[in-house]
Amino acid sequence: MKRIHIKLLLTAIFWGGTFIAGRTLSDHVAPFSAAFLRFFIAAIPLLYLTYRIEGRFPPIQKEKFFYLLLLGLTGVFCYNFFFFKGLRLIHAGRASLVIANNPIFIAIASFFLFKEKLNAVKIMGILVSVTGAMVAISRGNLQGMLTESIGRGEIFIFFAVLSWVSYSLIGKRVMQDFSAIEAVTYASVTGAIMLFPAALAEGMSKDIFEYSLANWFSLFYLGFFGTVLGFVWYYEGIKKLGPSKASLFINFVPISAIILAFLFLDEPITISLLAGAAMVSLGVYLTNTGSLSHLR
């Protein structure tokens, strides 16, 4: 296996681990505080990498600043608030399967907003992936899902998905003027600035002295491994392999999250969870490739 493939596989494992770190933090650190500290930790090495890779900090014109604010609002502020709120209420493995549908909703939104094509295979992938998530959420009881209300935890995670979809679509506009690492760095910085007052209102300035070593490890993991290292390696993969091949490694995220949740959080691995993970992975694969040929 090539080094870049190993990096992409590790990236998927790192991103799967963010659900375990987030679940660990959710009972001890308030959501805005956790989100702010995650991106405060991430912003420092991201600023360094941006300057080292780009050789400068590109100037931000007034009209571009608005889009960068939207990136920080959607992908950092809103996404992480809903992410940590949701993980307080549901298992990390189930949350990962809902969020694994991000590419599905991005494909649907791109179809309506940017007229990107959806062929029969991609539509089949969307149906398979969404069904897989429903199987996991309902614990295999799809009929009961029609009569019972979905829990607050799933609703929070679903809003996290919508936040990330918005972030991704806005990112298409931002990428016209900034490189990928510049856009992520500026989004992280602006998002952290927006999160700071909310974190203070939650009592972070007082609570921060009571965080355990495990809490700080989880925050560092989210900031460095889940954000900085994961981002750098993922975009390195896109540069060397192309977006289609690199994005296929995202399919390993929910699988790694389920395995890590079993190992570190004692979350049960059920048949419905495994079936849902397989369906979500297959659905995302089909939506990304738009072809059945790779399955032969």
Per-residue pLDDT tens over the stretch 131-175: 888 888 777 766 655 555 568 898 999 999 999 889 888 888 887
Q: Answer yes or no: are the C-beta atoms of 10 and 231 closer than 8 Å.
A: no
Nearest-angstrom CA–CA distance, 159 and 232 = 26
**Which span out of 127-131, 213-217, 268-272 was modeled with the highest average pLDDT?**
213-217
DSSP annotation of 292 reads S
What is the 3-state secondary structure of 28-51?
CCCHHHHHHHHHHHHHHHHHHHHH
Q: Tell me the one-letter amino acid at 54.
A: E
Segment 201-242, tens digit of pLDDT: 999 999 999 999 999 999 999 999 999 998 888 888 877 876
Neighbours of 197 (CB within 10 A): 11
pTM of the model: 0.85
Q: Would you call 29 exposed, middle or buried from its count of C-beta atoms within 10 A (0-12, 13-18, 19+)? A: buried
Q: Tell me the one-letter amino acid at 225.
A: F
